[in-house]
Amino acid sequence: MPGPALAGRRIVLGVCGGIAAYKAVEVCRRLVDAGAFVSPVMTRAATRFVGEVTFSALASEPVRTSLWDEPEPIPHTRLGQGADLIVVAPATARLIGAYAAGISSDLLTATLLATRAPVLLCPAMHTEMWEHPALADNIATLRRRGVRVLEPAAGRLAGGDVGRGRLAEPVDIAGAAIALLSGEGELSGKADLAGVEAVVTAGGTREPIDPVRFIGNRSSGKQGYAVAAELARRGARVTLVSTAAQPQPSGVTVVEVETAAEMEDAVLGAGVSADVVVMAAAVADFRPKASAARKIKKADGVPEIILEPTTDILAALGSRRRPGQVLVGFAAETAAPGSSRRELLAYARDKLTSKGADLVVANDVAAPGVGFAHDTNAVLIVGTGGEEIDVPLASKDDVARAVVDAIARRIYNNQEQP
């Protein structure tokens, strides 16, 4: 009969000063129950939320809170060198910033800098803090260095607010620790896209008719944002060119645009050096040839709007791609009832050839729960190597994982070729 999942493993549990510190008590219990030897380290601010005696009673040894109050002269070195894993839950914006900058102002940050063990950060903070560009940059820096991040969930926050920033549940944190130390699950091993530079587009472009009206579409940008977030989670440096008003994914640089021409300039500029370009945006095929300088009044009669085609950005990328670059297109279609997959496959295959893409992600936006504005999607991923990957109705995060898996396989195959 197998023993506990973490038997014989030493885990340093760091606890920072936030209201979510009370959940770290449950994390500690679960890690101990899984067989781990848990050494708790609390910041001074953490002791304002949870008493030291609580962790000392539950953990494998008494809490440590200071570099100076211990009998040994270098406690951070002993903790860092002896750990199989360091888990920080909750990880505050202050801790994340200090860790990214290499500032060892307390025992916990000193221990993080003194270890070569894997590190699992579990952030918790208000939504505005989690979405701040400085925090996103720090998270991206740490991910590039191999730190694993279990992102916060959306839910009720301190003070009655609701949003993203809630600490992951203790059962999920303990599960992530087990995955890291057992070599199973998506948190195990190095980030498979570390060092990869990616450009992703999201949202629908708006082509102005006058200062008030525009030609647009129903794209929310959710799928493009999910792809960008998944790429960043797996270590890529991601630039997201977006027209959408969605929360900024952690570790992603967002470039805001509105029109197809603005998106073209941003994508072709950033795409020159990118290893991966994912065209998930719904770019308008046509735009008014001229936009009125002032609002068109009803009394002026029905305006005559002359349209002209916009640049096909995906085709432009395909015509100038460099060797080894992975190009991914999206195809939002409306297939006839009963023949959805057959038509999607034909559309996707045609787009692969005509645009010069490696992968095309096609979906039938007329199907229930699929495509624009929904939190779910169902896609067919088609590749030049003959790949046909059906992803049935699932969350857009799950679809993003399937898309990025296909991208990662393509990058790996490119690297293996002489």
Mean pLDDT of 213-234: 91
Same domain? 236 vs 384 = yes
Same domain? 281 vs 321 = yes
How confident is the model over 103-151, as pLDDT tens digits? 998 999 999 999 989 999 999 998 888 989 899 899 988 988 889 898 8
Res. 3 pLDDT band, cuts 50 70 90: low
The mean pLDDT value of the chain amounts to: 88
Q: Does the residue 160 lie in any domain?
A: yes
Query: Is residue 1 pLDDT above 70, yes or no?
Result: no
Same domain? 314 vs 362 = yes
Q: Does the residue 327 lie in any domain?
A: yes
Please classify residue 129 by burial: count the beta carbons closer than 10 Å to its beta carbon, then call 0-12 exposed, 13-18 middle and 19+ buried: middle
Q: Does the residue 3 lie in any domain?
A: no
Q: Which of 152, 182, 212 is the last residue of a domain?
A: 182
Res. 189 pLDDT band, cuts 50 70 90: very low
pLDDT confidence of residue 59: 93
328-359: string of b/e by CB count within 10 Å (b at 16+)?
A: bbbbbbebeeeebeebbbebbeebbeebbbbb
Task: For residue 242, give both structure tokens.
Answer: 């977006």
Same domain? 87 vs 133 = yes
How confident is the model over 140-185, as pLDDT tens digits? 889 888 898 988 887 777 777 777 888 988 988 988 888 888 754 4
pLDDT confidence of residue 190: 40
- How far is residue 50's CA from residue 46's CA, in Å, rounded to a whole number? 6
pLDDT confidence of residue 416: 53
Active-site residue, from 217, 363, 377, 413: 217
Same domain? 140 vs 225 = no
Same domain? 238 vs 301 = yes
- Structural domain total, the chain: 2
Query: Is residue 191 pLDDT above 90, yes or no?
Result: no
Query: Is residue 55 pLDDT above 90, yes or no?
Result: yes
Query: Is residue 248 pLDDT above 70, yes or no?
Result: yes
Q: Does the residue 5 lie in any domain?
A: no
Same domain? 72 vs 218 = no
pLDDT confidence of residue 360: 97
Same domain? 150 vs 210 = no
> Length of the chain, please?
418
Task: For residue 238, give both structure tokens.
Answer: 């991601």
pLDDT confidence of residue 7: 85
Q: Which residue has the higher pLDDT, 156 or 391?
A: 391
Q: Which of 149, 182, 215 is the last residue of a domain?
A: 182
How confident is the model over 69-83, as pLDDT tens digits? 766 667 788 888 889
Our measurement of the distance from residue 387's CA atom to the centroid of its chain's CA atoms, rounded to an integer in Å, reads 25
Same domain? 214 vs 111 = no
95-99, 195-199, 232-236, 403-407: the lowest-pLDDT one: 232-236
Q: To the nearest whole percent, how much of the chain has pLDDT over 70?
A: 94
How confident is the model over 312-371, as pLDDT tens digits? 999 999 999 888 999 999 998 887 776 678 888 999 999 999 999 999 999 988 888 887
What is the span of the domain harbouring residue 178? 10-182
Q: Does the residue 230 lie in any domain?
A: yes
Our measurement of the distance from residue 219's CA atom to the centroid of its chain's CA atoms, rounded to an integer in Å, reads 19
Q: Does the residue 101 lie in any domain?
A: yes
Res. 186 pLDDT band, cuts 50 70 90: very low
pLDDT confidence of residue 356: 95
Mean pLDDT of 288-312: 92
pLDDT confidence of residue 305: 92
- How far is residue 18's CA from residue 50's CA, in Å, rounded to a whole number? 10
Assess whether 217 carries a catalytic annotation.
Answer: yes
- How far is residue 331's CA from residue 313's CA, in Å, rounded to a whole number? 13
Same domain? 137 vs 227 = no
pLDDT confidence of residue 2: 46
How confident is the model over 253-276, as pLDDT tens digits? 999 999 999 999 999 999 988 999
Our measurement of the distance from residue 43's CA atom to the centroid of its chain's CA atoms, rounded to an integer in Å, reads 28
Same domain? 175 vs 202 = no
CATH number of the CATH domain containing 267? 3.40.50.10300
Q: Does the residue 81 lie in any domain?
A: yes
Q: Does the residue 402 lie in any domain?
A: yes
Mean pLDDT of 73-97: 90
CATH number of the CATH domain containing 175? 3.40.50.1950
Mean pLDDT of 34-44: 94
